[in-house]
């Protein structure tokens, strides 16, 4: 999925959403893996069955991260939500012109304040 943030990419399958950054992101998370303040290049949200039960979900997340080639610190989450409906909405506070007019379209540069990306074809 192409998003308008340089150095950030998002891949999406029915099993996971993977946010990857070229430079380390400063994060604060309550995730199963990577909770607290962290600096990471990867955020994973892995789909599990609604009846998922495991005494060690961290091990499942570590194994999944390994399967997708991540061998460094990451943020890892589990969700029973159907990921085929995953969407991304970014809301800009301002724009490159430092205009904080809160309009849908910036009065200085013409940029729009909301970006919507969908994994669907329509």
- Kindly state whether residues 19 and 64 are assigned to the same domain: yes
What confidence tier does 106 reach under pLDDT thresholds 50, 70, 90?
low
For residues 2-23, average pLDDT: 86
Averaged confidence pLDDT in the chain: 80
Whether residue 19 lies inside any domain: the answer is yes
Domain containing residue 13: 8-83
Question: What's the pLDDT score for residue 100?
Answer: 44
Q: Tell me, yes or no, whether 62 and 79 share the same domain.
A: yes
Greater confidence, 75 or 116? 75
Contact 119, 13 (CB under 8 A): no
Q: Are 116 and 91 in contact (CB under 8 A)?
A: no
CA distance 47 to 69: 17
- 71 and 113 co-located in one domain: no
| pLDDT tens digits, one per residue of 33-71 | 999 999 999 999 999 999 999 999 999 999 999 999 999
For residues 53 and 109, state if they share a domain. no
Q: Is the pLDDT of residue 72 over 80?
A: yes
Q: How many CA atoms lie within 13 A of 97 on its CB side?
A: 13
Domain assignment present for residue 1? The answer is: no
Helices marked H in the chain — which ranges? 57-67
């Amino acid at each position: 999925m192409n998003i308008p943030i340089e150095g950030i990419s998002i891949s999406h399958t029915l099993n996971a959403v993977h946010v990857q950054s070229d430079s380390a992101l400063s994060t604060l998370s309550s995730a199963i893996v990577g909770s607290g303040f962290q600096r990471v290049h990867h955020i994973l949200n892995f789909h599990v069955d609604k009846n998922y039960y495991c005494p060690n979900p961290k091990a499942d997340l570590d194994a999944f991260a390994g399967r997708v080639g991540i061998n460094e610190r990451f943020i890892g989450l589990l969700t029973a939500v159907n990921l085929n409906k995953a969407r991304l909405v970014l809301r800009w506070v301002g724009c490159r012109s430092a205009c904080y007019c809160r309009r849908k379209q910036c009065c200085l540069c013409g940029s729009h304040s909301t970006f919507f990306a969908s994994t669907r074809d329509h």
